[in-house]
């Protein structure tokens, strides 16, 4: 039971922070199917920086993890500018732009990883090897039956994600900027009439989504395999999108959805081990979150209410 909570939480929290990035973008009115590409490119940036600096730190140092996270957020934010430019500046179709960003991100990171390994390190590899992240257990609380398992063997980045998520919630729901951002997704004409630049608010929201996606992608790289490759995050961006839709574009509800996905995944792996099934069956476990996604959307999609101006290209001249 403990491993279900530990592994489930380490998967759910990075997924949650990526979904928050999607919420910021879509609550501003910009459809963001590009989360998959954003988290991949962000993780690539962080992994590349750490790989280039690996000889500057002691073997057991945890500093590279935090450097990688910061660089991943910067890389994800910069890459998200491409989506923002296409959708806001050039008024491209937002769905098509997101799909193109994903395809480009996967192909570009795979190509660059192989080329950099060959030219810089002289190794024929499509992976960047990262250090192993330390784990921490919170005393006293971790001894509580059942619930205490949530506080055992936690990755340090889980605390960071929780802190960033709280800040993101406060900014979105308790600040003037958050009010304007949400208004851009519901009634951009009213925001424009109030003298606020709708394009600027939306552009910033998309960049934030890229930064948070990069954070989640880097955390996945450390928690899933301790290495970066273009294949480790396949499907997670779309799963984050499903989580925010099921969560009705609300941060607290999206957290619940991501926890369900995370615990379903870890419980599936545990069932495989308990039954003594071959390791090949573990691949079937990967589909559990997606099956749950389909079921949840079937039963709850009718009650979902997307931002009214989501996906609409705002033209100030037509106001």
Tokens standing for 309?
């101006």
Check residue 105 and give its pLDDT: 95
Query: What secondary structure, in 3-state letters, does 246-304 show?
Result: HCCCCHHHHHHHHHHHHHHHHHHHHHHHHCCCCHHHHHHHCCHHHHHHHHHHHHHHHHC
Are 270 and 3 spatial neighbours (Cβ–Cβ below 8 Å)? yes
Check residue 98 and give its pLDDT: 97
Check residue 272 and give its pLDDT: 77
Cα–Cα dist 81/79, whole Å: 5
Sign of CA dihedral 182, 188, 190, 195: positive
- CA 239-245-247 angle, to 5 degrees, is 100
Are 32 and 283 spatial neighbours (Cβ–Cβ below 8 Å)? no
Cα–Cα dist 104/90, whole Å: 18
Residue 115, CB-side half-sphere exposure with 13 Å CA sphere: 6
Residue 215, CB-side half-sphere exposure with 13 Å CA sphere: 27
Cα–Cα dist 126/85, whole Å: 30
Residue 116 Cα to chain centre, angstroms: 25
Domains of the chain: which residue ranges?
2-318
Check residue 317 and give its pLDDT: 67
Check residue 232 and give its pLDDT: 79
Check residue 279 and give its pLDDT: 66
Check residue 129 and give its pLDDT: 87
Tens digit of each residue's pLDDT, the chain (319 residues): 678 888 899 999 999 999 999 999 999 999 999 999 999 999 999 999 999 988 888 877 888 999 999 999 999 999 999 999 999 999 999 999 999 999 999 999 999 999 999 998 888 888 998 877 888 888 878 888 777 877 888 999 999 999 999 999 999 999 999 999 999 999 999 999 999 999 999 999 999 999 999 999 999 999 877 889 888 788 899 999 999 998 999 999 999 999 998 988 888 878 777 777 776 666 677 777 778 777 877 777 777 889 999 999 987 766 5
What does DSSP say about strands 128-129 and 227-228: parallel, antiparallel, or unpaired? antiparallel
Closest CA to 156 of 69, 280, 233, 245: 69
Closest CA to 26 of 249, 211, 242: 249
Residue 217 Cα to chain centre, angstroms: 6
Residue 312, CB-side half-sphere exposure with 13 Å CA sphere: 19
The residue count of the chain comes to: 319
Model-level pTM?
0.94
Helix (H) or strand (E) holding 118: helix 94-120
Q: Could you please report the per-residue DSSP string of 34-95?
A: THHHHHHHHHHHHHHHHHHTGGGS-TT-SHHHHHHHHHHHHHHHHHHHHHHIIIIIS---HH
2-318: CATH topology is ABC transporter involved in vitamin B12 uptake, BtuC (1.10.3470)
- CA 125-126-127 angle, to 5 degrees, is 95
């Amino acid at each position: 039971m403990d491993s279900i909570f530990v592994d489930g939480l380490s998967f759910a929290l990075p997924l949650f922070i990526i979904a928050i990035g999607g919420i910021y973008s879509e609550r501003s009115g910009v459809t963001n199917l590009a989360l998959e590409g954003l988290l991949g490119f962000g993780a690539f940036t962080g992994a590349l920086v750490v790989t280039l600096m690996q000889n500057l730190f002691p073997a057991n140092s945890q500093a590279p993890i935090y450097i990688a996270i910061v660089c991943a957020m910067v890389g994800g934010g910069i890459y998200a500018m491409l989506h923002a430019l296409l959708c806001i500046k050039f008024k491209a179709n937002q769905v098509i732009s997101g799909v193109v960003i994903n395809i480009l991100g996967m192909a570009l990171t795979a190509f660059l990883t192989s080329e950099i390994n060959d030219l810089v390190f002289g190794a024929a590899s499509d992976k960047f090897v990262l250090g192993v992240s330390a784990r921490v257990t919170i005393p006293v609380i971790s001894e509580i039956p059942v619930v205490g398992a949530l506080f055992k063997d936690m990755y340090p980045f889980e605390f960071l994600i929780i802190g960033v998520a709280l800040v993101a919630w406060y900014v979105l729901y308790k600040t003037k900027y958050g009010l304007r951002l949400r208004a851009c997704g519901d009634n951009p004409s009213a925001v424009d009439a109030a003298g606020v630049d709708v394009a600027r608010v939306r552009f910033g929201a998309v960049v934030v989504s890229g930064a948070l996606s990069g954070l989640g992608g880097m955390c996945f790289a450390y928690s899933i395999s301790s290495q970066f490759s273009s294949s480790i995050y396949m499907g997670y961006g779309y799963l984050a999108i499903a989580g925010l839709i099921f969560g009705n574009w609300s941060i607290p509800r999206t957290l619940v959805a991501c926890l369900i996905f995370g615990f379903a995944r870890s419980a599936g792996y545990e069932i495989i081990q308990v039954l003594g099934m071959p390791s090949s069956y573990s691949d079937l476990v990967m589909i559990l979150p997606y099956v749950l996604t389909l079921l949840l959307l079937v039963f709850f999609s009718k009650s979902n209410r997307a931002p009214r101006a989501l996906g609409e290209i705002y033209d100030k001249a037509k106001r």
